[in-house]
Chains A and B, each alone.
Chain A
Amino acid sequence: MKCHRCGLREASVHWLEMNAGERRSLWLCADCAASREQAPAASEPQVSFLGQGLGSAAAACPGCGTTLEDLRRDNRLGCARCYVTFRSTLLPLLARFHRHISHVGKVPGGVQPTTRLAEITRLRLGLTKAVAAEEFERAATLRDRLRELEDQAGPADGSAR
Chain B
Amino acid sequence: MSGTLAALAAVDAAWLDGLGPDGDIVLATRARLARNLAGFPFPHRAGPEALATISVDLGRRLRRLPEFVDGFSVDLAACEPRSRQLLREKMLAGDDLLAVPEHRVLVAGPDLSYVALLNGEDHLRLCAWQSGFAPDTALAAALRLDDQLAGAYEPAFSQEQGFLTASPGNVGTGLRLSAVLHLPGLVMADEIDKVLNALRQLEFGVRGLAGEGRTVRGALFRIGNLTTLGRDEAEIAGDFAAHVGKVIVHERAARELLLGRDRRALEDLAWRGRAALANARLLTTHETWDCLSHARLGGGLGLVPAPDWGVFNRLLVRHQGAHLELAAGLRLDGRERSAARADLLREYFAVP
Decide if B271 is an interface residue (CB 8 Å cutoff). no
- Please tell me if the beta carbons of A158 and B73 are within 8 angstroms of each other in the complex: yes
- Please tell me if the beta carbons of B227 and A97 are within 8 angstroms of each other in the complex: yes
- Please tell me if the beta carbons of B53 and A124 are within 8 angstroms of each other in the complex: no
Decide if A134 is an interface residue (CB 8 Å cutoff). no
Decide if B10 is an interface residue (CB 8 Å cutoff). no
Interface size class of A (residues with CB under 8 A): 35 or more
A117 and B231 in contact, given A93-B168, A97-B169, A161-B5 (Cβ under 8 angstroms) = no
Decide if A109 is an interface residue (CB 8 Å cutoff). yes
How far does the Cβ of A25 sit from chain B's closest Cβ, in whole Å?
Answer: 15
Most A Cβ at <10 Å: residue of B50, B57, B165:
B57
Decide if B230 is an interface residue (CB 8 Å cutoff). yes
Q: Which residues 5-51 of B have a CB within 8 angstroms of A?
A: 5, 36-42, 44-45, 49-50
Decide if A141 is an interface residue (CB 8 Å cutoff). no
Which residues of the other chain, A, contact B65 by a CB distance below 8 angstroms?
none
Decide if A58 is an interface residue (CB 8 Å cutoff). no
Q: Which residues 212-243 of B have a CB within 8 angstroms of A?
A: 226-233, 235
Decide if B88 is an interface residue (CB 8 Å cutoff). no
- Please tell me if the beta carbons of A161 and B79 are within 8 angstroms of each other in the complex: yes
Proximity bits, A46-68, B CB within 8 Å = 1, else 0: 10011000000000000111100
Decide if A145 is an interface residue (CB 8 Å cutoff). no
Report the bound CA distance from A50 to B37 in whole Å: 22
- Please tell me if the beta carbons of B38 and A121 are within 8 angstroms of each other in the complex: yes
Report the bound CA distance from A131 to B169 in whole Å: 30
How far does the Cβ of A48 sit from chain B's closest Cβ, in whole Å?
Answer: 10
Interface 9-mer from B149-157, B299-307, B334-342: B149-157
Interface 9-mer from B201-209, B256-264, B286-294: B201-209
A160 and B232 in contact, given A93-B168, A102-B160, A106-B143 (Cβ under 8 angstroms) = no
Which residues of the other chain, A, contact B161 by a CB distance below 8 angstroms?
83, 94, 101-103
Query: Which residue in chain A gives the minimum CB-CB distance to B122?
Result: A76
Which residues of the other chain, A, contact B172 by a CB distance below 8 angstroms?
98, 100, 103-105
Decide if B314 is an interface residue (CB 8 Å cutoff). no
- Please tell me if the beta carbons of B150 and A104 are within 8 angstroms of each other in the complex: no
Interface of B is mostly: mixed
- Please tell me if the beta carbons of A150 and B205 are within 8 angstroms of each other in the complex: no
Number of chain B residues close to chain A: CB under 8 A:
77
Which residues of the other chain, A, contact B143 by a CB distance below 8 angstroms?
106
How far does the Cβ of A42 sit from chain B's closest Cβ, in whole Å?
Answer: 6
A157 and B153 in contact, given A77-B166, A83-B164 (Cβ under 8 angstroms) = no
- Please tell me if the beta carbons of B154 and A42 are within 8 angstroms of each other in the complex: no
Which residues of the other chain, A, contact B158 by a CB distance below 8 angstroms?
80, 83, 103
Which residues of the other chain, B, contact A63 by a CB distance below 8 angstroms?
41
How far does the Cβ of A40 sit from chain B's closest Cβ, in whole Å?
Answer: 8
Query: Which residue in chain A gives the minimum CB-CB distance to B170?
Result: A45
How far does the Cβ of A33 sit from chain B's closest Cβ, in whole Å?
Answer: 18
Decide if B54 is an interface residue (CB 8 Å cutoff). yes
Decide if A41 is an interface residue (CB 8 Å cutoff). yes
Query: Which residue in chain A gives the minimum CB-CB distance to B123?
Result: A117
Q: What is B's interface to A at a CB cutoff of 8 Å?
A: 1-5, 36-42, 44-45, 49-50, 52-61, 72-75, 78-79, 105, 121, 143, 146-147, 150-173, 175, 200-203, 205-206, 226-233, 235
Contacts A114-B151, A158-B73, A161-B5 aside, 10 further interface pairs with beta carbons under 8 A come to: A42-B200, A74-B44, A77-B164, A79-B42, A80-B38, A97-B168, A101-B230, A102-B161, A104-B231, A121-B153
Complex A-B: 26 CB contacts under 8 Å: A42-B200, A64-B41, A75-B167, A78-B41, A94-B161, A98-B172, A103-B160, A103-B173, A104-B172, A104-B235, A105-B231, A106-B162, A106-B233, A111-B150, A112-B151, A113-B151, A115-B57, A117-B54, A123-B39, A124-B39, A156-B52, A158-B2, A159-B78, A159-B105, A160-B72, A161-B5
